[in-house]
Amino acid sequence: MVEAGGSNPPGPIGDGMKATAKANANIALVKYWGKRDEALILPHNSSISMTCDAMETVTTVEFSENYDTDTAIINDEELHSDQKRVYDHISLIRKMAGIKEKAKIVSESNFPVAAGLASSASGFAALTVAAAAAAGLKLSEKELSIVARQGSGSACRSIFGGFVEWKKGTKSSDSYAEQIAGKDHWKDFRMIATIVKEARKAVSSRSGMSQTVKTSPYYGGWLSSIEEDLKGMREAIRSKNFTAAGSLAEYNALKMHCTMMTSKPPIIYWTPATVEIMNAVREWRQDLESYFTMDAGPNVKVMCLKKDEKELRQRLSELDGVVKTISCAPGDGSSVSKNHLFD
């Protein structure tokens, strides 16, 4: 756990004990699937992602003695007191800062939440940065990454922009994200989020991971092959080898979904539209190089280069079941904003 140190005195900064932060979602190219420690959210394997510039969460946090209890409003919906993840995270940051004031949290995302689009990544990254700033904590990016991880594992990667690796570590203090390459390293890389279902998924990522780790006979194979995937993806990103990066991301995603499908009971996030997109991308690859990846949900992310972005997005939008597409380039890491969501 990260704690406020001597060079990191607690106390309000900026606008009293109020701060706003924004963070982008990230999509994993080599997936994180499975925890070795549920409480601290320590993963069984490291992972690599791209921070996406067009999928953003903005969060305002205010600590005040005028609040009798913590409250959180996410996309105009108030969280109940039993929805513990957000409130537990605020309590963690409050303890680190040595303050007692309760918090008001308002958060808005510009893309569907809990639908396999990494909304918890941007959400908890923005919450961590805003709450830490409001509480007066001056944390490094590494420290923010460690704290964000304890809210949602993939949130530790959204602290950084561009291409990012979350190192699994051996304990809480060395399980954090680091940037492999900045957003300007590979400006032509595109990730097109293809939305086929905006509703919340029936099985959350958290419960899906736990079930897979406990029951899938293929989970051991997933772990034994992951280091090779990580090495290959690092090399592909650094050399800007799109064929290598895209094909490896697609292969890695299919391996992950195979472990889900062979858990007991099986977890199948795919819909007919999901499969149609996958098949179409494989067919189009003959004249339009593109690859797909998927997280825990039905929505497919399609990777291409900038020169093919317009044509690919048009083709995707014409498929049955596609609601909309969101095209993303490598984006910025999380940051503090002066534009609060409430007065």
pLDDT reported for residue 6: 32
Residue 336 belongs to some domain of the structure: no
List Cα–Cα distances, 73 to 219, 338, 339, in angstroms: 37, 19, 17
Q: Where do the H-state alpha helices sit in 98-204?
A: 119-134, 141-149, 155-158
State whether residue 283 is helix, strand or coil. helix
pLDDT reported for residue 327: 97
pLDDT reported for residue 119: 82
pLDDT reported for residue 4: 34
pLDDT reported for residue 204: 85
| Nearest alpha-carbon partner for 191 in 25, 318, 327, 29 | 327
Query: Are residues 170 and 194 both part of a single domain?
Result: no
Query: Are residues 221 and 100 both part of a single domain?
Result: no
Query: Are residues 137 and 199 both part of a single domain?
Result: no
pLDDT averages per 10-residue partition of the chain, 343 residues? 36 67 97 95 97 96 97 90 85 97 95 68 96 97 98 97 97 97 98 87 85 96 97 98 98 98 96 97 96 94 98 97 95 97 94
Tokens of 205: 């990522």
For the purposes of burial, counting CB atoms within 10 Å of the CB of 327, is it exposed (0-12), middle (13-18) or buried (19 or more)?
Answer: buried
Query: Are residues 34 and 179 both part of a single domain?
Result: yes
Strands 71-74 vs 102-109: parallel, antiparallel or unpaired: parallel
Cβ-based neighbours of 240, under 8 Å, separated by 6 or more: 185, 186, 189
Residue 11 belongs to some domain of the structure: no
pLDDT reported for residue 16: 67
35-76 pLDDT, tens digit per residue, is: 999 999 999 999 999 999 999 999 999 999 999 999 999 999
pLDDT reported for residue 122: 95
Residue with tokens 């203090």: 173
Domain ranges, residue 286: 189-328
Query: Are residues 178 and 112 both part of a single domain?
Result: yes
pLDDT reported for residue 116: 52
Count up the domains in the chain and report the number.
Answer: 2
